[in-house]
Structure 1
Amino acid sequence: MNKDFHCYATYCAAILAGYSHEESAVIGYSSQMVDLCTRTMLSKLHAPQSAATTQLQLELMDARTDIIGLQDITRIWASFHFLPGDLYAQPKQKCSKKYLNKYRLICNPNSELIEKTVSLAKGKSEQAAGIAMHVLADTWAHRYFAGTPSLVINNINYHCFELVQSENGEVERKVNFRHNPSAPDDPEHSAYTNTVYYNNENSIMSLGHGRAGHLPDYCFVKYKYLPAWKQYEEIVKDNPADYLNAFCQMIYALKFLRGVNPSFERGKYDTEAAEPIMDDIRRILHTVQLDSTDDWRELGRKLSGHSLEEIDVDKIEKEYLDADDDKKDDTFLGKFIIGALAQKSMVTNQIFQSGNKLAGYSIEYSSKGFKGIRDFRKLLNRKESAKNE
Structure 2
Amino acid sequence: MQIDGHFTLTYTLARMVGFEHERAQIIAYSAQYVDDATNSGIAKFDNGAMFSRISSAHTMTAYDIKYYTDAHENHLVWVPFHFLPGNDGLSAGENPKGGFINKLVCKPYSQIAVDMLDACLKDIDKPHFLQRVGITMHVFADTFAHQGFAGVVHDINKVENLECSNYSMSFFNKTKASALSNAFPMGHGAALTCPDMPFLKWSYTNGLGNKVERDNLEIFMKACYNLYGQLGLVLSELGGTVNDENESDFEQIKNNLENFKDDNEEVRLQNWIESIDRGDFSFGSEKLEYIPKGINSWKYQAIKQELAEDTGRELFTYTNDFINSHWRNFHVALKAHRFDIVNNILPKYGIIVS
TM value normalised by structure 1: 0.72
Change (3 A) 1:261 1:144: farther
Matched, 1:300 2:276: yes
For structure 2, list consecutive stretches of 5 or more residues without a partner in the other structure. 89-93, 305-316
What is the deviation of 1:261?
Answer: 9.8
Match of 1:147 in 2: 151
Q: Distance in 1 between matches of 2:243 and 2:205?
A: 32
Matched, 1:127 2:127: no
Q: Distance in 1 between matches of 2:100 and 2:320?
A: 41
Question: Which residue, out of 169, 194, 200, partners 1:221?
Answer: 200
SS of structure 2 residue aligned to 1:36: coil
What is the deviation of 1:163?
Answer: 2.8
SS of structure 1 residue aligned to 2:165: strand
What is the deviation of 1:246?
Answer: 1.2
Change (3 A) 1:42 1:299: farther
Match of 2:102 in 1: 103
- The one-letter code matched in structure 1 to 2:200 is V
Matched, 1:55 2:55: no
Matched, 1:38 2:73: no
What is the deviation of 1:76?
Answer: 0.9
Match of 2:289 in 1: 309
What is the deviation of 1:89?
Answer: 4.1
**Residue correspondence of structure 1 range 231-310 to structure 2 within 5 A:** 232-259=209-236, 273-287=245-259, 288-290=261-263, 291=265, 292-301=268-277, 302=279, 303-310=283-290
SS of structure 2 residue aligned to 1:308: coil
What is the deviation of 1:142?
Answer: 0.6
Matched, 1:331 2:325: yes
Quick one: percent identity of the two aligned structures?
23
Q: Distance in 2 between matches of 1:238 and 1:261?
A: 35
SS of structure 2 residue aligned to 1:48: strand
- The one-letter code matched in structure 1 to 2:215 is D
CA contact (8 A) 2:180 2:189 kept: no
SS of structure 2 residue aligned to 1:161: strand
TM value normalised by structure 2: 0.79
Compute the RMSD of aligned alpha carbons: 3.0
Change (3 A) 1:355 1:141: same
What is the deviation of 1:120?
Answer: 2.4
Change (3 A) 1:253 1:174: same
Tell me which moved more, 7-16 or 316-325: 316-325
Match of 1:209 in 2: 188
Change (3 A) 1:244 1:72: same
Change (3 A) 1:212 1:274: farther
Change (3 A) 1:321 1:216: same
Question: Which residue, out of 341, 345, 369, partners 2:339?
Answer: 345
Aligned length: 314
SS of structure 2 residue aligned to 1:318: helix
Question: Deviation string for 1:213-234 (max 9, x for gaps)?
Answer: 00011001111112123xx222
CA contact (8 A) 2:17 2:243 kept: no
For structure 1, list consecutive stretches of 5 or more residues without a partner in the other structure. 165-172, 180-190, 263-269, 361-389
Q: Distance in 2 between matches of 1:28 and 1:42?
A: 26
